[in-house]
Structures are given as structure tokens and as C-alpha cells.
Amino acid sequence: MTALDGVGAPTAVEATGVTVRFGRTVALDDVHISVAAGDTHALVGRNGAGKSTLVSVLTGMRAPDAGEVRFGGVDAPGLADRAAWREKVACVYQKSTAVPELSVAENLFLNRQGRLISWSRLRRQAAELLEQYEVAVHPEARVADLTVEQRQLVEIARALSAGARFIILDEPTAQLDGPAIERLFDRMRSLQADGVTFLFISHHLQEIYEVCQTVTVYRDAKHILTAPVAGLSKPDLIEAMTGEAGGLGVPDGADRPRSSVPVLTVDGLSGDGFEDLSFTVAAGEVVGLAGSASSGKHELAETVYGLRAPSGGTVSVHGSHVRGGDVPAALRAGIGCVPRDRHHQGLVADLSIAENASMTVLSTLVRKSALRSSGRTAIAEYDIKAAGPDQPVSDLSGGNQQKVVMARALAADPAVLVLINPTAGVDVKSKESLLGVVDAQARAGKAALVVSDELDDLRVCDRVLVLFHGRVVAEFDRGWRDGELIAAIEGMS
Ligand SMILES: Nc1ncnc2c1ncn2[C@@H]1O[C@H](COP(=O)(O)OP(=O)(O)OP(=O)(O)O)[C@@H](O)[C@H]1O
């Protein structure tokens, strides 16, 4: 049976009247979505708008308090019937759902082998499947050793081989570099030509225009609009998301006063994936580090804030050496960080917003009331959508968790900020305010190092160092053109 939506196109999936509550929080309030078969349909909204909650309903991970889901006009299976859901829909999350210690072949057929497993057959079938979907990884490779790009392709192949023709991609580009994003989009286009339907979630609005035909906007748990992408301007899209007219302005800090006094000095630093790097960041200066995933930029930043031990060279703050490979020592020396992975290095999921945001200064904040009041300040300053300072961070949406990480980095009033992908998963409006915070910190005389794949994050920088295979290959002062920076990142300058 084929369902038809209002304008006569067959519907791959349709959800109507969906309401989901978490205690007092209404995450979805009587929303609907209808995705036409063969469409790539974007779902966008500010942090906490309800996107991930809808995904959990559309994948059968959560029963809504009210509402219905239908695939091709047929009611969704019962929640317990996981096999039936796998045939209808799959979601590739930002965080892998594959078992890292198992091989690609084992992951591909997880929960699907009969009782008797023939390993040689499993490997052969996996190899055939990978070839069919043009995924260039070895069936016996451990999933833990794959890149994010390879892992996503394996998960897409797994979904398609289970029979699903509707795939949800939840912020798939957040951890990919430019060329990998283009390869993912090419892959999506060719699967779409074969009849696969996508629901695509991203905070990068230009991606919506590049790869989607239809867009649905949710705001504060409500459906705001569904429209063809081609007829919707970017300002109108942002207005639907934020409820406010007027474009966005990322501060570029061009008028920021600069001093020549170095706060951070990196001298002859070598470590995993980078060699003999020297540079300084002055008071009031924001320096960007750009490069591909293999450039060594993350490893360099992680060595500066003490997560990795250097194999040579030194890091100093205000002329004093900081002991390497020791995060608490770096913190005491005045280096605050937003780490690369908020799930592993950023937050303690069970602790509250107040506790997480104050973690770098906990020894000085002993009174519970003081803790709560600093939590309330963080919620207001960083525009965190939450029920209150006592709410555990595990209850927050991804983007709002990222804002708590930023609050935590700044709580100890560090002299140096090392920020890795500081706006990852953060909506357009919040991005503007987080970058405003970086600008304000620099104006207050702090030194900042911003490592990012996002050009908007790099625009706030006074200069950008481009790394390629662990060495600085180019340096751009403010005012660079996108094309020249991207060419340098890709090693073409
Ligand atoms: N397990 C939970 N307990 C309590 N509240 C929750 C829980 N999960 C989500 N919420 C709340 O529901 C709302 C919607 O969250 P959701 O994760 O769906 O937002 P989102 O649109 O995906 O945001 P983001 O863009 O940041 O990923 C938020 O206010 C969030 O705090």
C-alpha cells in the first residue's frame, strides 16, 4: 500500500499528533511530519526544539505520550518488535551505535545471524555487502579502528541490507571534514536516485540547501513550518527557527584591541602527529588552528591543555612552564578547555548543570546555594534551555550540553582558552552568542586558541594557522577568503 500526502506524493513516513513529555518538560507538543518517498527532508530547529526526541519516536525507541507513526501508510510495528522496525527505518547517530570491539562483518550482521554462525560465510556475505554498497573497508577491520566517515557508511550499508529504505541522519556532518562531507552528500544523492528516503538533521543551514528538497522547522516543541527548500530564503528559515526577524551576525572582532604581550607560548612542541611547532598567543588575541582531520590540529590543542604528553618542546603561560600531559596542572596554570568530545572528556552525565558548569572551581564553591546560583548564571549567560540548575546534563539536548562545557571552561576565569570545535551541535543563534563570548574574553585580555572545521568559528580569529601533516603550512590574517583558506586546508596552496 502506498500512502499519499496532501499534495499527492507517496509518503515514506508520517507522524501525526505526536506529544512527548519528560516530567514537566514538553519535548514535543502535538507535532507532525510527513516525508515523501524518495525525498531528502531536513529537520531543523534550535537546541532543545525536539528533533532528537522525534527521532526516538520515528525509530521506535520511545512510545509517544500521544500520536501515531505510519510507514507507507501502514501503522508502525509494536515497540518490542525490533526486527520489524529495522526493516522500516534506521538512524545513523553522531555517536556510533556499532560495537567498537567487534569486526565490521560482525556488526553488519549483529542480531541477524541464525543460531549457527559460520564465520567464513559471515565474512563472505559482509564482503559482498560492502562491495554492493561501495564501502571500502575490510570486513575484518575492528569498528573501533574505522574513521567516523567509514563507520557511518558501514551503518548505512547495514540499514539498507536490513531492508530499510528510510534513513535518518542525525547531524552526520558534525565530525566530518570538508571532503568527507562532499563524499557523504554524493553517496546520499546516488542512494536517493535509487529510491532511498532521508531525514537529515543538521545545524549547518547551507547543507540543507545543498542536499535537501524539503525542510521542516520545529521550535520550542512545536511544528512551525514545512516547505520546499528552493522557495525558502535563509533569513526566512532562520526566522522560523528563532521566532525573530533579522539575520545573524557573528562577531569578527576586527576592532578588538591587541597587545603584544604573549600569554601562551608554544615552543618547539612535538607530539602525536605534529612536530616542532612554535607560536605565541598574545593578550586579547584569538588564534585559529585549521587543517584536515589528519593535520595534527586536535593533537596539538590537546597537548597544549595537558591531555596528551609532548615528545618535545614546552608550553608556557605568562612565561611559566606548564607540566606536560597533566590536565589539572594546565588548569592551575590558567588553561581552560572545551575538549573535542563532550561525551568522554566534557561532562559527567549524572551531575547537574550547576555541578558540571562549576567543576573547574568546585573546591572554592562549597555552599549548595552558591553552586545553584552559579548554575543559574550559566543558564542565563550561555542561553541553556533547561528546567533549572539542578537538572542532570544527561537530560539536556546535545547543543545545550555543549553550552555547559563552554560554561565550565570559563568558570575558573582562565588566562588561556583552548577551544576545540566550540560550536559543535550548537544552533545558529547560540553559535552567535558563544562566539560572542570568545570575543568578549579576548577583549578582557585573555588569549584564545580556536581549533575548528567551521569557517564561522575561524572568522572570530585575528589570524589562522593552517596545519598540514603536523606542520604549519600557511598563516592568514583576518579578512581571508573562504576559497584560499579551504585550499590551504586541503594542501593545495
Ligand atoms: N531524558 C530526558 N529527560 C528530561 N528531559 C529531556 C530528556 N531528553 C530530552 N529532554 C528535553 O526535551 C527537549 C527536547 O530535546 P531534544 O534532544 O529532542 O532537542 P534537539 O532538538 O534534538 O536539540 P539539539 O539540537 O541540541 O540536539 C529539551 O528541552 C531536553 O532538555
Three-state secondary structure readout of 26-62: EEEEEEEEEEECCCEEEEECCCCCCHHHHHHHHCCCC
CA pair distance 44, 217, nearest whole angstrom: 5
Q: Tell me which residue has its CA closest to atom 24 in ligand 1.
A: 47
pLDDT tens digits for range 355-370: 888 777 655 545 677 7
Q: How far is the CA of 282 from the centre of ligand 1 (A)?
A: 39
How far is residue 381's CA from residue 8's CA, in Å, rounded to a whole number? 47
Q: What is the pLDDT of residue 361?
A: 67
Please report where in the chains the cell 531492508 appears, as a residue. Answer: 163
Residue identifier of the C-alpha nearest atom 12 of ligand 1: 27
Ligand 1 contact, 201 CB (< 6 A): no
- Residue 450: all three cell numbers together: 580556536
Substitution candidate for ligand 1 out of 397, 401, 405, 426 with most atoms within 8 A of CB: 397
Region of 466 please: left (phi>0), alpha (psi -120 to 50) or beta. Answer: beta
- What pLDDT score was predicted for residue 5? 47
Q: In this predicted complex, what is the ipTM?
A: 0.98
* CB 56 less than 6 A from any atom of ligand 1: no
Interval between CA 46 and ligand 1 midpoint (Å):
11
Q: Is the CB of 86 under 6 A from ligand 1?
A: no
Q: Please compute, for residue 329, the number of CA atoms within 13 A of its CA located in the half-sphere on the CB side.
A: 15
CA of 426 to the centre of ligand 1 (A): 13
Question: Which residues are CB-neighbours of 273 under 8 A, at least 6 positions away?
Answer: 294, 295, 296, 299, 300, 470
CA 401 to ligand 1 center in whole angstroms: 10
Query: What is the second-level CATH architecture of the domain 11-242?
Result: 3-Layer(aba) Sandwich (3.40)
Pocket flag, ligand 1, residue 313 (CB < 6 Å) = no
Nearest CA to ligand 1 atom 7: 395
For the Cβ of 397 lying below 6 angstroms from any atom of ligand 1, the answer is yes
Q: What is the pLDDT of residue 366?
A: 57
Q: Is the dihedral of CA 390, 392, 396, 400 positive or negative?
A: positive
What is 262-490's CATH number, 3.40.50.300, 3.30.1300.10, 3.40.720.10, 3.30.360.10? 3.40.50.300
Q: What is the mean pLDDT of each run of 10 residues along the chain (493 residues)?
A: 53 97 94 97 95 97 97 95 93 83 87 66 88 90 91 90 92 85 93 95 92 97 97 91 74 81 97 96 96 92 96 97 94 93 74 83 63 84 88 89 90 93 86 89 95 90 95 94 87 72
Q: Where in the chain is the domain with CATH 3.40.50.300?
A: 11-242, 262-490
Rg (CA), the chain: 23
The predicted structure's pLDDT at residue 6: 46
Q: Kindly report the pTM of this predicted structure.
A: 0.84
